[in-house]
Structure 1
Amino acid sequence: MKIKTLTLTFFLLSIASASFAQDKKWANPIIKDYGRILDLENVAVTPDPDMEYKILIEIVHDMKKPGRLNFYANNVARLINLHAIGGVKPENLNVTVVIHAAATNSVINAEAYEKKYKVESPYVKFYEALEEAGVEMIVCGQSLNMFGHQPEDVVPQVKIATSALTVMSTYQLKGYSFFKMGGS
């Protein structure tokens, strides 16, 4: 009897959860295939649509699941879509992403990625989508070297810098707000 009751309870909760999820309004206003967000109503604090945003995002995520896009990488697209849903125009969003540490392995082209991980890269199309949205992407040259990649292995959307550290210090001094995605 207990098993039937538990099964029925689980079934009813699943139905309730599914119907609640269907009521949510998901959106991808700028980056269509990544960074899905909720279009919430009745919120008191939103981005200022009249401001110019200068955002520097450091991503250092791990590559434990190379067959799928890392949560922190996808969060870059979410941040952009969240500003857009708040009314910020794309031309007022100046976003630069600096990639280093293990995340450096995400910027290699499809051939190098498949050779390294034995799976298709989920990052090639992601970086193309970010570039289309006007995002500047930079990889740490120090990390690129430490992880054994050659400059010709890097996807064309990503620039190579001397280091992530110098990119971060330079952009912060230029007035960019700093976000770190991944790592500790």
Structure 2
Amino acid sequence: MKSIFIIYGLFFSFQSLAQMDQFHAGKVIENHGKIAEVEGMDPLPPGAQFNVSFDVSKAAVPGEINRSIDSVARFINMHDAAGVAAEQINLAMVVHGGSVRDMTVNNAYRKNNEADNANVALIMALQKQGVDFYVCGQSAAYYGVKTEDLIPGVKMALSAMTAHALLQQKGYTLNPF
């Protein structure tokens, strides 16, 4: 009986790995945000405009990329591949909870982790594409993160709630993922 479960587990593990082969690097954020081609999808309307905010509260495993930040790269890469012009994509990420540490420079990050912050290069690449990052000031205070600890260009907000409310007033929708 035990061997049946092992065989069953191996089968689905191999099947999962085979499906990962469908994903490839995008052309905008080349080292992050892998995408897959989607056959038979409904075409995007011409001139589609995306003003989207993302929310992240869960910190990455120390020394690893935060999956939620990588999702922003995937959003950019897949819409670029679908023909959406860069100027039609306006993205923001609101960061709170333990993930505020993922927004810090290596010196500050190492105070709480035994690794460099693997997110720095990705955040900087996303900023070059116009993505705005807002750190919840309330979470930052709780975790001892100061403005000078933040990666250059990352903004300190009064709170995550405030940042989301202001982004919504600017026409941003909240991505539920």
1:34 corresponding residue in structure 2 = 32
Number of aligned residue pairs: 170
Q: Quick check: which has more Rg, 1 or 2?
A: 1
1:76 corresponds to 2:72: yes
1:107 corresponding residue in structure 2 = 103
What CA distance in whole angstroms lies between the structure 1 residues aligned with 2:101 and 2:118? 12
What CA distance in whole angstroms lies between the structure 1 residues aligned with 2:174 and 2:16? 36
1:47 corresponding residue in structure 2 = 44
Sequence identity (%): 29
1:60 corresponding residue in structure 2 = 57
TM-score (norm 1): 0.81
> Structure 1, unaligned stretches of length 5 or more?
none
Which moved further from structure 2: 26-35 or 91-100?
Answer: 26-35
Deviation at 1:158, TM superposition (A): 0.4
Look up the equivalent residue of 1:121 and give its one-letter code: N
Residue pair 1:36, 1:78 contacting (<8 A) in 2 also = yes
1:171 corresponding residue in structure 2 = 167
1:91 corresponding residue in structure 2 = 87
> Of the candidates 155, 158, 169, which is equivalent to residue 154 of structure 2?
158
When residues 49 and 78 of structure 1 are mapped into structure 2, their CA distance, relative to the original with a 3 A threshold, is farther
1:149 corresponds to 2:145: yes
Q: CA RMSD in A?
A: 2.4
SS of the residue 1:45 aligns to = coil
TM-score (norm 2): 0.84
> Structure 2, unaligned stretches of length 5 or more?
none
